[in-house]
C-alpha cells in the first residue's frame, strides 16, 4: 500500500505528490547573528529518530507549504497542517 498524506486543502493524496523540504523546528537566526550561528543554521542538521516535524511542499497539488509531523522510523503521519496558518497560530 502506498503512503498517503492528508492535505488539509486537497484531501488524502499519495506521498509522491509532495516534496520534503526540511526540519520545521529550526529557528532562523537574527539578521545580525554571527557567522557561527548562520553556519549552524545553514549546514548542520540533526537526524532524529522518532516523531519529528518537517516542512513538506504539495508540489503536485495545491502547492501549499505544510508542516507534517511523522515518525521517522515507522513513517506514520501524526498530523498535517498548513504552514502559513501554523505560523499565525492557527491550524490543527
Full-model pTM:
0.81
**Long-range pairs of 79-84 with CB within 8 A, sequence gap ≥ 24:** 80/5, 80/6, 80/7, 80/8, 80/56, 81/8, 82/8, 82/9, 83/24, 83/55
Percent of the chain with pLDDT over 90: 78
pLDDT digits (tens, 9 = 90+) for 28-67: 999 999 999 999 999 998 888 999 999 999 999 999 999 9
Structure confidence at residue 92 as a pLDDT band (50, 70, 90): very low
* In this structure, CATH architecture of domain 4-87: 2-Layer Sandwich (3.30)
Break the chain into its structural domains and give their ranges.
4-87
Structure confidence at residue 90 as a pLDDT band (50, 70, 90): low
Judge contact between 65 and 91, C-beta under 8 A.
no
Pairing of strands 65-71, 51-57: antiparallel
Structure confidence at residue 86 as a pLDDT band (50, 70, 90): confident
Amino acid at each position: 500500500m502506498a503512503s498517503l498524506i492528508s492535505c488539509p486543502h486537497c484531501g488524502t493524496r499519495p506521498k509522491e505528490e509532495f516534496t520534503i523540504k526540511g526540519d520545521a523546528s529550526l529557528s532562523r537566526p537574527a539578521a545580525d547573528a554571527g557567522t557561527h550561528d548562520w553556519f549552524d543554521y545553514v549546514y548542520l542538521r540533526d537526524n532524529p529518530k522518532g516523531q519529528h516535524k518537517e516542512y513538506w511542499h504539495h508540489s503536485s497539488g495545491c502547492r501549499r507549504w505544510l508542516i507534517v509531523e511523522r515518525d521517522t522510523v515507522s513513517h506514520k503521519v501524526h498530523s498535517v497542517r498548513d504552514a502559513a496558518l501554523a505560523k499565525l497560530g492557527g491550524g490543527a
